[in-house]
Amino acid sequence: MKERFEREVSAADTDLVVLPEMWTTAYTLPDLHRHAEEMESKTVELLQQLAVKNNVHIVGGSIAVLEEEKVYNRAIVIDRSGKLVYHYDKLHLVPMLNEPYYLAPGREKVKVFELDGVKMGLIICYDLRFPEIIRQLALEGAQALFIPAEWPDARAGHWEILQQARAIENQMYVISSNRIGSYDGVDFAGRSMITDPWGNILAKGSPDQEEFLHTSLDLENVKDVRRRVPIFDSRVPEFY
């Protein structure tokens, strides 16, 4: 990861870097108790150092964290000063990949966090299928949603369509980082994406190549779309 930052981040005018889900261990679920880290870990320390050195914010994907003999799939956010701004434990565990047998679900609701005064949200992979938690982030003012993932290739079509749907229905940017390759008989989809509030795909990764995607977000676009199609003013939640 240090080498990749030196190659890709230092040479670019970068404000924020997004990493994939479980990037330190991959899906070694039966062995996660041996590989999981405590929150005060070398991985978090490394990301803090990289944030400061490169003057970037980092949505540090997620890592396996061991607490009270339970393993949590934890996403972390570190600002450019090296401060741990936010962390989130994956709420929805994937039954198709047997995650509930090896991981403990999160115990807290998703929350909005801020970087450079911009409100943002964060979910992990399978959470994408649950629009309720994403709508809550939008109602709290989130303008961008980050999704670290290890989404399987068997459901790659869902992966792309759901990101566009969440961007359109919440009028926010959706930025995902998904792994490639195979592990234990599961092929992963890649296709990391950056989708704008109108549902346009601004950048899309390949299904099988390790790469960095680069693009710029115009946050005024969020305000413009929400003004043109004022869905939040039109809501009548008392009837839902």
Query: Does residue 37 carry a catalytic annotation?
Result: no
Mean pLDDT check: name the lowest of 29-33, 64-68, 69-73.
29-33
Least confident of 2-6, 45-49, 91-95, 143-147: 2-6
Residue 13 binned pLDDT confidence (cut-offs 50, 70, 90): confident
Mean local confidence (pLDDT), 121-141: 97
Q: Is residue 176 scored above 90 in pLDDT? A: yes
Please tell me which residue in 119, 125, 150, 160 is annotated as part of the active site.
125
Q: Is residue 222 part of a domain?
A: yes
- The verdict on pTM exceeding 0.85 is yes
Q: Would you call 125 a catalytic residue per the annotation?
A: yes
Residues 138 and 104: their CA atoms lie apart, in Å, by: 26
Domain presence at residue 136: yes
Which is catalytic among the residues 8, 40, 53, 90?
90
Residue 237 within a domain: no
Instruction: State the DSSP string of 174-221.
Output: EEEEE--SEETTEEB----EEE-TTS-EEEE--SS----------THH
| Whether residue 12 has pLDDT greater than 80 | no
Structural domain contains residue 240: no
pLDDT tens per residue across span 226-240? 999 999 999 999 999
- 108 given a catalytic annotation: no
Tokens of 138: 């939008």
Q: Is residue 123 part of a domain?
A: yes
Q: Would 234 be classed as within a structural domain?
A: no
The pLDDT tens digits for 87-106 are: 999 999 999 889 999 999 99
Percent of the chain with pLDDT over 70: 100
Domain CATH number, residue 34: 3.60.110.10
Q: Please provide the size of the chain in residues.
A: 240
Running DSSP on this structure, what letter comes out for residue 151? -
Q: Note whether residue 10 is domain-resident.
A: yes
Domain of 44 in residue numbering reads as 2-229
pLDDT of 172 strictly over 80: yes
Q: How many domains does the chain have?
A: 1
List, for residues 145-169, the tens digit of each pLDDT value. Answer: 999 999 999 999 999 999 999 999 9
Query: What confidence score (pLDDT) does residue 41 get?
Result: 83
The active-site residue, picked from 21, 99, 150, 160, is 21
pLDDT at position 121 is 98
pLDDT at 27: 84
